[in-house]
């Protein structure tokens, strides 16, 4: 059942929970957005590994949402895992027009007590985006604990009291 339908630039988008048929289109968006945003980060998994991860792990076992256009194409995705915002990716063609903000608002609605997330330090666009949406950097690491061996930063958002 759709959670939300809204008139995005480029045509209406529906936000809804992902089903099995969304796994490969969502993986394709993840791959395109990762490659565009993080050209210097060495990915820990190849394209087939990312597709298998979406098919067998992300969609079946995590709270996965997709934004879908009228033509059925996936424009963006949000993955929540416990209190973590695990993944937030918008197709490069759809970025900068409010979809990321919409998905982040949905994440806060689903986790009103607060959210944590990790992002790579080099991802200046994502860092600015999260900071604009009320997240604070709370921890930085040298990357030795993540699969990509890339320095990262943990962000936290807590609701105003
Ligand atoms: C980070 C990301 C999810 C943001 O998604 P997005 O759809 O571009 O986000 P928005 O459009 O809501 O906001 C982005 C910018 O567009 C602008 N914007 C917001 N709404 C807009 C609208 N309706 N029209 C035009 N511009 C708008 C904002 O000024 C915002 O600027 P900011 O980046 O300085 O905050 C997206 O850029 C992305 O997928 N990046 C690659 C993957 C990634 O890095 N993910 C996070 C890893 S943890």
Instruction: With a cut of 50, list the residues of the chain below it in pLDDT.
Output: none
Q: Is 97 in the pocket of ligand 1 (CB under 6 A)?
A: yes
In angstroms, what is the span from residue 100 Cα to ligand 1's centroid?
5
C-beta 129 within 6 A of ligand 1: yes
Query: What tens digit of pLDDT does each residue of 127-147 get?
Result: 999 999 999 999 999 999 999
Cβ 106 vs Cβ 90: under 8 Å: no
pTM for the model stands at 0.93
Question: Which pLDDT score is estimated for 9?
Answer: 78
Q: Which two tokens stand for residue 146?
A: 């993540």
Q: Measured between alpha carbons, how far is 52 from 77 in angstroms, rounded to an integer? A: 16
The whole-number pLDDT of residue 161 equals 79
Strand ranges across the sheet with 4-6: 4-6, 13-17, 63-69, 74-81, 84-90, 115-120, 152-157, 136-141
Q: Kindly state if the Cβ of 134 falls inside 6 Å of ligand 1.
A: no
Give residue 2's pLDDT: 67
**Number of the ligand 1 atom closest to the C-alpha atom of 36:** 41
């Amino acid at each position: 059942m759709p959670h939300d339908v809204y008139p995005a630039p480029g045509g209406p988008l529906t936000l809804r929970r992902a089903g099995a048929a969304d796994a490969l289109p969502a993986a394709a968006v993840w791959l395109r957005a990762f490659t565009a945003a993080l050209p210097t980060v060495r990915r820990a998994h190849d394209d087939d590994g990312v597709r298998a991860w979406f098919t067998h792990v992300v969609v079946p076992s995590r709270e996965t949402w997709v934004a879908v256009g009228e033509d059925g194409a996936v424009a963006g995705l949000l993955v929540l895992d416990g209190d973590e915002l695990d993944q937030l990716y918008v197709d490069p063609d759809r970025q900068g027009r409010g979809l990321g903000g919409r998905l982040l608002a949905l994440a806060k609605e689903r986790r009103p007590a607060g959210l944590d997330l990790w992002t790579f330090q080099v991802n200046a666009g994502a860092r600015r985006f999260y900071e604009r949406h009320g997240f604070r950097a709370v921890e930085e690491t040298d990357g030795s604990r993540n699969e990509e061996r890339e320095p990262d930063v943990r962000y936290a958002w807590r609701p105003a009291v």
